[in-house]
Structure 1
Amino acid sequence: MGVGGKFWDLLKPYARQQGFHYLRDKRVAVDLSSWIVQHETAVKGFVLKPHLRLTFFRTINLFAKFGAYPVFVVDGTPSPLKSQARISRFFQSSGIDTSSLPAIKEGVSVERNKLFCEWVRECVELLELLGIPVVKAKGEAEALCAQLNSQGYVDACITPDSDAFLFGAKCVIKGIKPNSREPFECYHISDIEAGLGLKRKHLLAMSLLVGNDYDSGGVLGIGVDKALRIVRVFSEDEILESLHDIGKGMKPAFNDGIKSLNDGEESCSEMKRRFPHCSRCGHPGSKRTHFKSSCEHCSIDSGCIMKPLEFRCECSFCSKDRDLKEQKKTENWWIKVCDKITRGPEFPNRKIIELYLSDSFTEEGFSMSWGTPDTEMLVDFMVFKLHWDPSYVRKMLLPMLSTIYLRERAENNAGNPLLYEQYEFHSIKCINTRYGHQSFVVRWRKPISTSGFTQGEAEKSIVVWEDELVEDEESVDPLDGLNEPQVQDDNGDCFLLTDECIGLVQSAFPDETEHFLQEKKMRESKNKNVSKEASSSRTTTMGVQRSITDFYRSTKTAVDTGGTQIASISAEKKRQATSTSSSFSKSVRRRLLFG
């Protein structure tokens, strides 16, 4: 939840729209519970164990596609304040009066339900098998995410809870969608300070007024807009103490740059008595005076111009009168606001303030190190939990393994020559564009293993790709699924095709990348020259005068010839595709390469 009201709407104008590359090589803290809650609600009943499926797909996407180093944070024992607010919110939604309910005793917390805890435990086990660090918070996960961010352990935190800013977060990503063209929203506290003039304690004061995770009600009758107007009156150093004084019944001065109300009343009375205004044109001076000597503001020789319906006199006397009325209106509003705050019980709650300003949200000696996936244990885990085929698990895991392999290669310029002890880097096939993001399609070589199959069956299981620039078809996947590695056969050699970061491949294999880019440049130059020659030929042909009959005859012939050629090519491609398509199931084809 975070801060109550429409707090995110207040911050949205100051969000940065970031794309795929923003998180590359950055460490990010992820609130695991928010992922589970969000997608368990969205796809519940459609798939088996959606929390595990989502965590598997999205973690690999975050690691491989976005190039980030994620560290997951799980909730610890909730604060008694959070437990009390949760119970209060439940009874309020049920229409039950909470005033007569006994308060939760100090130090007593209410744990989450057992089913949710089981989901978290399964996700943690999966993440550990993937080699991703998991840290347990003392209380709320978003609090530890913010602490890791503020202390420099991570570069950003991914959480939908807006109170991460209250815990000290400097960069908050509300959510990511791996399979979408839309950029994600990234909020920096520096942008919020520059745009709204609000710092951490100002945001904390707003949460006390409109409600938060530890006080669901806030102050009755105060929303986000009104709270923003209140906290802007005070500096960051004095805002919390000023709220404390208001809670005790004191009314600090609401200084808006206009002189005091008592002097203003005397001046207003004096101005009305000494400086009358014409009832016809509205300008200073009486109607009789304007009739005798004309009005200097109306600029006509005699009489006055009838004032419009929305006339507003801009003379100094009227301006002062308006300022004084606004001053009185503001002071009356301020008195009412202070009275509302005073009526709130124990406002502001010192325990909530201390909790948000604390900087101890985790156990001592936590570790943040990224390892290599335990592939075989992971396969057994996913087969047991989700009933996936072992070859499918290995196939879906390949993007993460290839990213680790390329990172190690880029750092050490050596290391293990084989990916997953089976595949070697062969070449760059083409550039793939998916969701507006370009990547290299890399070929990994592996000899075809025909154990248990005939050579003919192995050949049937190969899907042939054309060597060209590819733009994948895009579809919405609520579980953020992965792009399955493709398979290619070339003269008896079997190749796996994976999408890889262009910069990462360039760092790991600079010579091969340079060779591919040079060939690509030569092909583009050749195609450009061919296009120019064709254009020149058409221009020359068009310059020869021909009869209408000849023109239509030649055009029709060209069209027919082209159509025949196209049909011939299409038939040949269809015949090749049919001859190479497999009559076996997907699991059989996967075992040829991932068994």
Structure 2
Amino acid sequence: MGVGGKFWDLLRPYGRQQGFDFLTNKRVAVDLSFWIVQHETALKGFVLKPHIRLTFFRTINLFSKFGAYPVFVVDGTPSPLKSQTRISRFFRSSGIDTPNLPAIKEGVSVERNKLFSEWVAECVELLQLLGIPVLKAKGEAEALCAQLNSEGYVDACITSDSDAFLFGAKCVIKGIKPNSREPFECYHMSDIEAGLGLRRKHLIAISLLVGNDYDSGGVLGIGVDKALRIVREFSDDEILERLHDIGKGLKPAVLGGTKPVDDGEESLSEMKKRSSHCSRCGHLGSKRSHFKSSCEHCGCDSGCIKKPSGFRCECSLCSMDRDLKEQKKTEDWWIKVCDKIARGPEFPNKDIIELYLSDGFTEDGSSMSWGTPDTEMLVDFMVFKLHWDPSYVRKMLLPMLSAIYLRERARNNSENPLLCDKYEFHSIKCIKTRYGHQFFVIRWRKPIYTSGFTHGEPEIVILEDELIEDEESGDPLDGLNEPQVQNENGDCFLLTDESIRLVQSAFPDETEHFLREKKLRELRKKNVSEELATPRPTTMGVQRSITDFYRSTKAAPAQSIDAGESSRVSSSAEKKRQATSTSSNLSKSVRRRLLFG
């Protein structure tokens, strides 16, 4: 729950929407109970043990797709203060009057129900098999998450409990939205300080006024807006001390209080009596004097102008009168608020303040370490709990194993050249886009060892580059894109989506070769498209003379006649040629008629 009222609504304008790469190479503390409660109701009845399924998929995606290093935190023994609040909330929801609830003794607490505790234990066992560190808090899980964040062991907390800020958290991820280009709804304490002017003790003071996990009632009649106005009157160093004073019945002076008037000065009311205002124009002076001649503010020959609706005189007396009225209004409001706070029993609760300011929620986080999944034990666990096929478990676990392999290779600590002792890096197939973020699709080949096989560097095969848009996938945390299996010429290939940065660090030469070939293909495609778009010049020959034109037209029909007709035409042409040659002494006009006639 966290802080009561509409506390998240107060912080929402200062939240950020972060993209896919926000958690890359960052450590993040996860409130495990938050994950289980968040989706247990939604998935219940549709799948077997939804808490295990959700934790399995989300952890692998958080580790492999988003590049984070998660550490999970589970609740310890709740504080007796919270146990009392839970009982009170239960009785109120049941319609039972709760003025005389018995106080819970120190060391005695109300644990969560047995079924939920079993769910948490199963998820912890799963996480340990995945090689993910799990810490148990002394009290509340969000308190330990905040402590790890404030001490620098993690970069962010994933929890919906707003009181993580009261425990000292600096960055809180409230929600992870599926099917989004910016999946993380993130709140930074620095943004809250800059936007609202509130620091950690201010937020603790607001929680004491409106209610929290350890005091669900708060102060009757005070909501978030009124509490915000109260705490802004004091600095972060003095706010809790001033609340103590108010709880004892004192009324500390606040900014904007009524200013004292010296005894030697005339009162404001006496001054206003001798300095009347015109009822027509509203300016200083009597109506009679303004009727004879217009006042300097109106500047009209025919008398003063009638004052408009909502007119405010800006003379010193009227301004002072408005200020005093506003101060009196503020003072009356402050007195009523202080009286409301003082009526509460033992306000503020020192134990709650001490709990929020404590930093001893468990041992420090320096011992956190991430291991390698125990594949065989994990397969047995998932088969037993969810009845999954062993091959399906191994396939869905592959993205996490490939991310570990690439990280180790990038650090030059990998002694094993094969992924899962079976698959070697083969090639980068293409670039895939999911929710606006790009990944490499990697082909992993399972070598077939024969008597003549010698293991060497894998051949780099650059396939035709494709830009795959994958916007129809499910929740990037709750589900996984199954690695694809391909069989080509007797070789078995697995296709996984990997971070471009990670692949570039692990296989720099192969990545450079792929990107170079990709660029060359793009240039070739560009040149071909430009060539196709360029208009080809028409093949227009030189204009022929009229003689050549007629000769070509007369020669064409001769190709389509038969042999007898051809010989007849040939003999006729021969006779005409002879006649032309023998009549060279004829005039030019005669020769033209003989030639074209």
TM-score over 0.5 (shorter chain) = yes
In the alignment, what sits opposite 1:308? 308
Amino acid in structure 1 at the alignment position of 2:516: Q
The answer (yes or no) to whether the contact 1:127–1:134 under 8 Å persists in 2 is: yes
In the alignment, what sits opposite 1:75? 75
1:333 aligns with 2:333: yes
Amino acid in structure 2 at the alignment position of 1:521: K
Q: Give the whole-Å Cα distance in 2 for the aligned partners of 1:378 and 1:106.
A: 40
Paired residue secondary structure (2:96): coil
Amino acid in structure 2 at the alignment position of 1:44: K
Amino acid in structure 2 at the alignment position of 1:330: T
Paired residue secondary structure (2:177): coil
Amino acid in structure 2 at the alignment position of 1:209: L
TM superposition shift of 1:529 = 1.2
Q: Give the whole-Å Cα distance in 1 for the aligned partners of 2:264 and 2:339.
A: 24
The one-character-per-residue Cα deviations of 1:271-309 (angstroms, maximum 9, x if unpaired) are: 321222221222222221111110221231222222222
In the alignment, what sits opposite 2:587? none
TM superposition shift of 1:223 = 0.7
1:486 aligns with 2:462: no
TM superposition shift of 1:540 = 8.4
TM superposition shift of 1:316 = 2.0
The answer (yes or no) to whether the contact 1:424–1:444 under 8 Å persists in 2 is: yes
In the alignment, what sits opposite 1:568? none
Paired residue secondary structure (1:432): strand
The one-character-per-residue Cα deviations of 1:143-180 (angstroms, maximum 9, x if unpaired) are: 00011111111111111111011111111111223643
Worse-matched range after superposition: 417-426 or 293-302: 293-302
The answer (yes or no) to whether the contact 2:395–2:482 under 8 Å persists in 1 is: yes
Paired residue secondary structure (2:359): coil
Q: How does 1:262-411 map to 2 (within 5 A)?
A: 267-363=267-363, 367-411=367-411
Q: Give the whole-Å Cα distance in 2 for the aligned partners of 1:466 and 1:265.
A: 92
Paired residue secondary structure (1:91): helix
Amino acid in structure 2 at the alignment position of 1:202: H
TM-aligned CA distance change 1:366 to 1:512, over 3 Å: closer
TM-aligned CA distance change 1:435 to 1:388, over 3 Å: same
The answer (yes or no) to whether the contact 1:422–1:446 under 8 Å persists in 2 is: yes
TM superposition shift of 1:261 = 7.5
In the alignment, what sits opposite 2:508? 510
Amino acid in structure 2 at the alignment position of 1:63: F
Q: Give the whole-Å Cα distance in 2 for the aligned partners of 1:265 and 1:379.
A: 89
Q: Give the whole-Å Cα distance in 2 for the aligned partners of 1:58 and 1:263.
A: 73
Q: Give the whole-Å Cα distance in 2 for the aligned partners of 1:267 and 1:418.
A: 92
The answer (yes or no) to whether the contact 2:55–2:123 under 8 Å persists in 1 is: yes
The answer (yes or no) to whether the contact 1:28–1:158 under 8 Å persists in 2 is: yes
The answer (yes or no) to whether the contact 1:58–1:178 under 8 Å persists in 2 is: no
CA RMSD of aligned residues (A): 2.2
Q: Which structure has the larger Rg?
A: 2
TM superposition shift of 1:367 = 3.1
TM superposition shift of 1:260 = 3.4
The answer (yes or no) to whether the contact 2:167–2:356 under 8 Å persists in 1 is: yes
Paired residue secondary structure (2:428): strand
Paired residue secondary structure (1:495): strand
The answer (yes or no) to whether the contact 1:76–1:140 under 8 Å persists in 2 is: yes
Q: Give the whole-Å Cα distance in 1 for the aligned partners of 2:388 and 2:180.
A: 26
Q: Give the whole-Å Cα distance in 1 for the aligned partners of 2:162 and 2:374.
A: 35
Q: Give the whole-Å Cα distance in 2 for the aligned partners of 1:261 and 1:222.
A: 33
Q: Give the whole-Å Cα distance in 1 for the aligned partners of 2:464 and 2:508.
A: 24
The answer (yes or no) to whether the contact 1:428–1:513 under 8 Å persists in 2 is: yes
The answer (yes or no) to whether the contact 2:233–2:254 under 8 Å persists in 1 is: yes
Q: Give the whole-Å Cα distance in 2 for the aligned partners of 1:253 and 1:265.
A: 24
**Count of aligned positions:** 526
TM superposition shift of 1:413 = 6.2
Q: Percent sequence identity over matched residues?
A: 84
Paired residue secondary structure (1:379): helix
Amino acid in structure 2 at the alignment position of 1:333: W
The one-character-per-residue Cα deviations of 1:338-372 (angstroms, maximum 9, x if unpaired) are: 00000111100000011111110014798311000
Q: Give the whole-Å Cα distance in 2 for the aligned partners of 1:442 and 1:264.
A: 89
TM-aligned CA distance change 1:266 to 1:7, over 3 Å: farther
TM superposition shift of 1:22 = 1.1
Question: How does the TM-score come out when normalised to structure 1?
Answer: 0.85
Q: How does 1:63-462 map to 2 (within 5 A)?
A: 63-177=63-177, 179-256=179-256, 259-260=259-260, 267-363=267-363, 367-412=367-412, 414-447=414-447
Any stretches of 5+ residues in structure 1 without a counterpart?
Answer: 450-464, 542-595
TM-aligned CA distance change 1:522 to 1:369, over 3 Å: same
The answer (yes or no) to whether the contact 1:3–1:213 under 8 Å persists in 2 is: yes
TM superposition shift of 1:479 = 6.7
Amino acid in structure 1 at the alignment position of 2:130: L
The one-character-per-residue Cα deviations of 1:470-524 (angstroms, maximum 9, x if unpaired) are: 1114144497101111123333322111100000000000000000000111111
Worse-matched range after superposition: 407-416 or 475-484: 475-484
Q: Give the whole-Å Cα distance in 2 for the aligned partners of 1:74 and 1:184.
A: 22
Paired residue secondary structure (1:90): helix
Q: Give the whole-Å Cα distance in 2 for the aligned partners of 1:422 and 1:510.
A: 22
Amino acid in structure 2 at the alignment position of 1:189: M
TM-aligned CA distance change 1:479 to 1:46, over 3 Å: farther
Amino acid in structure 2 at the alignment position of 1:389: D
Paired residue secondary structure (1:439): strand
Amino acid in structure 1 at the alignment position of 2:72: F
Amino acid in structure 1 at the alignment position of 2:314: E
Paired residue secondary structure (1:216): coil
TM superposition shift of 1:74 = 0.1
Q: Give the whole-Å Cα distance in 2 for the aligned partners of 1:107 and 1:414.
A: 49
Paired residue secondary structure (2:176): coil
Paired residue secondary structure (1:514): helix
Q: Give the whole-Å Cα distance in 1 for the aligned partners of 2:264 and 2:484.
A: 80
TM superposition shift of 1:436 = 1.1
Q: Give the whole-Å Cα distance in 2 for the aligned partners of 1:413 and 1:143.
A: 36
TM superposition shift of 1:11 = 1.2
The answer (yes or no) to whether the contact 1:62–1:178 under 8 Å persists in 2 is: no
The answer (yes or no) to whether the contact 2:52–2:123 under 8 Å persists in 1 is: yes
Paired residue secondary structure (1:422): coil
The answer (yes or no) to whether the contact 1:73–1:135 under 8 Å persists in 2 is: yes
TM superposition shift of 1:95 = 1.9
The answer (yes or no) to whether the contact 1:177–1:480 under 8 Å persists in 2 is: no
TM-aligned CA distance change 1:404 to 1:179, over 3 Å: farther
Any stretches of 5+ residues in structure 2 without a counterpart?
Answer: 450-462, 540-597
TM superposition shift of 1:538 = 8.1
Paired residue secondary structure (2:301): coil
Amino acid in structure 2 at the alignment position of 1:482: L
